[in-house]
Amino acid sequence: AQSVSQHNHHVILSEAASLELGCNYSYGGTVNLFWYVQYPGQHLQLLLKYFSGDPLVKGIKGFEAEFIKSKFSFNLRKPSVQWSDTAEYFCAVRTSGNTGKLIFGQGTTLQVKP
């Protein structure tokens, strides 16, 4: 069965610091990978996605993620965070080989101090 693990549950950074959030998945077949963001009191919104091709994908608001197949990882990065990036971040996996199940990690709460 597929599963997603996010290593950091709560991250606190100062503005302008660099960000990297870890995500590992468990599934032996072809996967599609996503990062979603949830701002306080809001619904989940897509940050970026990986389907195929270049393993380094760029998303909105300066975020990027790198798919490393050998490590089953899809880590999210941003060179310089802003106070407005304070939110919860979710990694998600959707397997193309079965029936389209979409599974999320536990989420990482990012707090950016001004």
Partner 1 sequence: DAGVIQSPRHEVTEMGQEVTLRCKPISGHDYLFWYRQTMMRGLELLIYFNNNVPIDDSGMPEDRFSAKMPNASFSTLKIQPSEPRDSAVYFCASSLERVTEAFFGQGTRLTVV
Q: From the CB of 72, what's the least distance to partner 1, in Å?
A: 18
Quick one: which of 5, 8, 32, 86 contacts partner 1 (CB under 8 A)?
Answer: 32
The answer to whether 13 and 111 have CB atoms below 8 angstroms apart is yes
Q: Is 60 in the site for partner 1 (CB under 8 A)?
A: no
Give the nearest distance from C-beta 15 to partner 1 in angstroms.
Answer: 26
- Check: CB of residue 72 under 8 Å from CB of residue 91: no
- Asked if residue 46 binds partner 1 (CB under 8 A), the reply is yes
Q: What 3-state class would DSSP assign to 112? A: strand
Q: From the centroid of its chain, how far is CA 64?
A: 9
- Binding-site string for partner 1 from residue 75 to residue 104, where x marks contact by CB under 8 A and - marks none: ---------------x---x-x--xxxxxx
The β-bridge relationship of strands 108-113 and 10-14 is parallel
Report the residue from 43, 54, 70, 114 that binds partner 1 according to the rule CB under 8 A: 43
Contacts of 53 (CB under 8 A, 6+ apart): none
Shortest separation between residue 19's beta carbon and partner 1, angstroms = 20
Angle at 91 between CA 44 and CA 47, to 5 degrees: 50
The residues binding partner 1 (CB under 8 A) are: 32, 34, 36, 42-46, 49, 51, 90, 94, 96, 99-107
